[in-house]
Structure 1
Amino acid sequence: MEPDQLRAEVERVLADLTDLGGRLGVDVRETVAALRARADDLSSPVRLPDAPPVLGVDACPGGWVGALLTGGRCQVLAGSSLARLVELARESAAVQVVGVDIPIGLPDAGRRQADVLVRRELPGKGSSVFTTLTRAAYEATTYAEARAANLEATAGTEVMSAAAQSYALRERILDADGYVRSGPPVAVVEVHPELSFARLAGEPVLAGKRTPEGQQARVAALRAAGFPVPWLAAGPGYAVDDLLDACAAAWSAARVAVGTAECFPPVPEVFSDGLPAAIRA
């Protein structure tokens, strides 16, 4: 339901409640005022929180592209490794949280609940959430070896082959995994841009992120939240859709920084790597 429609429906219900209270001789003014305030909250866009400097990061063909959100501005950065990108960002601002669109916390066997739950949150866009393979699969140096390793690791739970799309992220996943396990000077959390955009827009953005319609919808959602969308242009190793995903990641990182982000699952899973596996938005 659109915000204006929601407000009109709420006002109709509140008018009925006020009328009923009058006929029953019950003072419902405080109740109506509280419900109207709640309606204002529900019909307002999800605003950009007033957060400390944060960095949103998306994997791209050239490595990583980042959206540094600080002081009401968004600066675009790029780096060949996640460590280098965070280092560049910290040269400009005291980054508190880094939101990365890449799996953090690799399972030993079976599926991650983070992937399962977020896929359910994205009707019509569930295919954008790739199933994270096991650590053994990502440590394999060829796709054939990864498939065999994943089948062996998941035997006895739910036998899972290794999707080529999931394995294609191997280099970026291992880069992020190594960085997070090294004990970085900032908090690094996993995000998913399609979930971020769904929260920003109030529903999943079904138009493809590489299409003009999809990019316009994503820009509109960011701007409605007060996000300072940077100049949108392809750069060294990244495309416009990569940059938009980094902006969405920064929005979620800001919510993490101020403690208002959702977490899927609410209590992160922890596998043998000791990393909390959860997607935040």
Structure 2
Amino acid sequence: MASGEARETASPWIAGADGYPFGWVVAFMRLDGAEPPRLRGAPDLAAVLDAPEAPRLVAIDMPIGLPERIVGPGRAAEQAVRPLLGGRQSSVFSMPSRAAVYAADYREACGVALATSTPPRKVSKQGFMLFPKIREIDALLRARPQDVARVFEVHPEVAFWRMNGERALETPKKVKGRAHPPGLAQRRALLEAAGIPAALVDAERPRGSGPDDHLDALAALVVAMRLAQRTARGFPEPPERDAHGLPVAIWA
């Protein structure tokens, strides 16, 4: 048994993570409830995997797996989940090819993306802002293949779709870049109904993170719970694999 598989079996902890400007907002929970759950910031994904909790599963709100060429509007995972989200489809950004993600700047990324997609597509500026964290995950998992089985890609709106009885949420959590209280309240209620303790929903969030980062990390934690229970679904399932063997799927 590989070391990553051994840790997955042994640890009672799981985690959900969402990116923010200073690293990752991470929610940790013990499956046996022997210790209270906790929320804190982490500087990078390695710090999450190597945390004292050593989570067996980490569900993370960031793309994993980068095809060499994109056919259609984004990776197969993105194409699979968009129809589920109704008016929230635009929250699923189209990721370009691996070479575009590793481009030096936005102009180069757009040029590479055009050359490695069918039909040719540039890179959205919102998607481009995610590239540093995507490169961080990609480099870490390629360097530590034993940990690939511990890390799963999620998308918060797809997670909330599943929590909401497979119905898309029409109320956004942000409007014009600012927190939207009705949308945040709806998501808090869904998280508690899905088994997230109220103390974790109401926990003080890491400095510099927003309420949406907090709730998105908890949505990822719900998916980690379902992965541990083997009730999560992958889009697509089975996942595709990129040239480095990394899975390409969004789990909910």
Same structural fold, with TM-score higher than 0.5 when normalized by the shorter chain = yes
CA distance in 1, matches of 2:212, 2:153: 18
CA distance in 1, matches of 2:67, 2:56: 27
Over 3 Å counting, the alpha-carbon distance change for 1:77 and 1:235 in structure 2 is closer
Which position in structure 2 is the counterpart of 1:62?
22
TM-score (normalizing by structure 1): 0.76
CA distance in 1, matches of 2:236, 2:248: 8
- 1:162 and 2:131 matched: no
Shift of 1:94: 4.2
- 1:266 and 2:229 matched: no
Q: Are the equivalent residues in 2 in contact too, given 1:232–1:240 (CA < 8 A)?
A: no
- 1:147 and 2:114 matched: no
For 2:142, which of 164, 181, 186 is the aligned residue? 181
Which position in structure 2 is the counterpart of 1:81?
44
Which position in structure 1 is the counterpart of 2:196?
227
- Taking the TM superposition and a 5 Å limit, the aligned residue runs for 1:232-243 are 232-243=203-214
Unpaired runs of 5+ residues, structure 1, are: 1-50
Secondary structure of the corresponding residue to residue 37 of structure 2: strand
CA distance in 1, matches of 2:164, 2:107: 40
The count of residues paired between Structure 1 and Structure 2 equals: 226
Secondary structure of the corresponding residue to residue 125 of structure 1: helix
Shift of 1:125: 0.7
Which position in structure 1 is the counterpart of 2:169?
205
Superposition CA RMSD, Å: 1.7
CA distance in 1, matches of 2:120, 2:235: 23
Q: Are the equivalent residues in 2 in contact too, given 1:233–1:240 (CA < 8 A)?
A: no
Which position in structure 2 is the counterpart of 1:104?
64
TM-score (normalizing by structure 2): 0.85
CA distance in 2, matches of 1:247, 1:64: 12
Unpaired runs of 5+ residues, structure 2, are: 1-10, 174-178
Secondary structure of the corresponding residue to residue 208 of structure 1: coil
CA distance in 2, matches of 1:134, 1:233: 37
Residue by residue, what CA displacement relative to the aligned partner does 1:90-115 show, whole Å, maximum 9, x if unpaired? Answer: x0x34110001100001211131100
Question: Radius of gyration: which is bigger?
Answer: 1
Q: Are the equivalent residues in 2 in contact too, given 1:69–1:75 (CA < 8 A)?
A: yes
CA distance in 1, matches of 2:212, 2:125: 21
Q: Are the equivalent residues in 2 in contact too, given 1:53–1:97 (CA < 8 A)?
A: yes
Q: Are the equivalent residues in 2 in contact too, given 1:233–1:239 (CA < 8 A)?
A: no
Shift of 1:234: 4.1
Shift of 1:224: 1.2
Shift of 1:232: 4.0
CA distance in 2, matches of 1:268, 1:80: 28
Shift of 1:80: 1.6
